[in-house]
Amino acid sequence: MSTAPVVSVRDLRVYYGTPRGTVRAVDRVSLEIAEGEVLGLVGESGCGKSTLGRGILGLLPEGARSDGEVIYGGRNLVGMGAKELRRLRGPDLGLIFQEPMTRLNPLMRIEDHFRETLEQHEPRLTGREIRTRSLETLGRMGIPPTRFRQYPHEFSGGMRQRIMIALALVLRPRLLVADEPTTSLDVIVEAQILAILSDLRRSFGTALLLITHNLGIVAEACDRVAVMYAGKIVEEGDARDVFGEPAHPYTRELLRSTISLETEELHSIPGAPPNLIDPPRACRFHPRCPSAMVVCADRDPVEQTIEEGRRVLCWLHGPDERIPAGGTETLERAEIAVAEEA
């Protein structure tokens, strides 16, 4: 696996305009993904994970605006023309959507989906080459040739998800964003999908951004993990290090909320992710944080590198000037309750 990044994201922001105000869905996010590497992106619903994935690929709806840098192949994808981006999507940049039944045209056979994709991006291919490439890719997903001319409704949810993965892979992209690829699948099919994604990076060296709520999947399938909260990356590092010794209180609370065979008592994080139109000032997690200090509600945290390849956005890790005149006493529970209600 190469250490050179396939994509470098620097200070990426994605904002949505709404009648109620501006939604700051992604707020100055930076990350890199190397060739053959799997980066897991985790966090609660509404924290901006899917928006970040689509922002990297330039797949944003009307009314959204973005700035910062997404460097791919020496070029910045942010601000690139729509025609140029369309040429890159498919052969260079791939996306596996959530809910495959909503992405496959119910009036088209599976064969037609593949023909349309390949004719659009590789018009020089003959009909025989299109069929051969399509069947080969589907075969890697465990879909037999006898089902090539069937319609989406004739497949189970797990098989439709494999077809979606095959459609993304048939063009052999260098970067693949997988947005909740195992949602609503049973654990056996989930394991099969993970094995397919693992084989993908070994065979093609694809860089993979895996967006998921399932921390077990990240522990099993990812090299590194980035934890996202309220539009920001609050912790990033080697998956084993982050799971073994989480540095950010939010990461610790997420892990405590995971159910395992050793679970004796259910745990949840009080409150809910903030409204991204008007997020809390300073640290966005402080209204829910069990380790919150006075400074957390007063000043934005400064990102710290706590060891090689490990960074965290939290006042618990510095810098030293974090201690204000009022000291480091923990916020009173009443203050936190008021902030949650607000």
Q: State the Cα–Cα distance between residues 120 and 124, nearest whole angstrom.
A: 10
Question: Phi, psi at residue 235, to the nearest 5°?
Answer: -155, 140
What Cα–Cα distance (Å) separates residue 63 from each residue in 17, 67, 97, 220?
6, 14, 21, 37
Lookup: tokens for 124: 């020089």
- Please count the helices (runs of H) and the strands (runs of E) in the chain: 10, 12
Domain ranges of the chain: 102-165
pLDDT value, residue 126: 94
| pLDDT (tens digit per residue) in 16-26 | 988 899 999 99
Q: How many Cα atoms are found within 13 Å in the side-chain-facing hemisphere of 88?
A: 21
The number of beta carbons lying within 10 Å of the beta carbon of residue 77 is 23
Q: State the Cα–Cα distance between residues 326 and 90, nearest whole angstrom.
A: 55
**Residue ranges for the chain with pLDDT beneath 70:** 1-3, 100-101, 184, 320-342
Instruction: Judge whether 95 and 59 are in contact, CB under 8 Å.
Output: yes
pLDDT value, residue 334: 31
Q: What is the pTM of this model?
A: 0.87
From the number of C-beta atoms within 10 Å of its C-beta (0-12, 13-18, 19+), residue 265 rates as: exposed
If phi > 0 it is left, if psi is from -120 to 50 it is alpha, else beta; for residue 120 that is alpha
Instruction: Judge whether 207 and 224 are in contact, CB under 8 Å.
Output: no
pLDDT value, residue 325: 40
Per-position DSSP letters for 139-191, written without gaps between them: HHTT--GGGTT--GGGS-HHHHHHHHHHHHHTT--SEEEEESTTTT--HHHHH
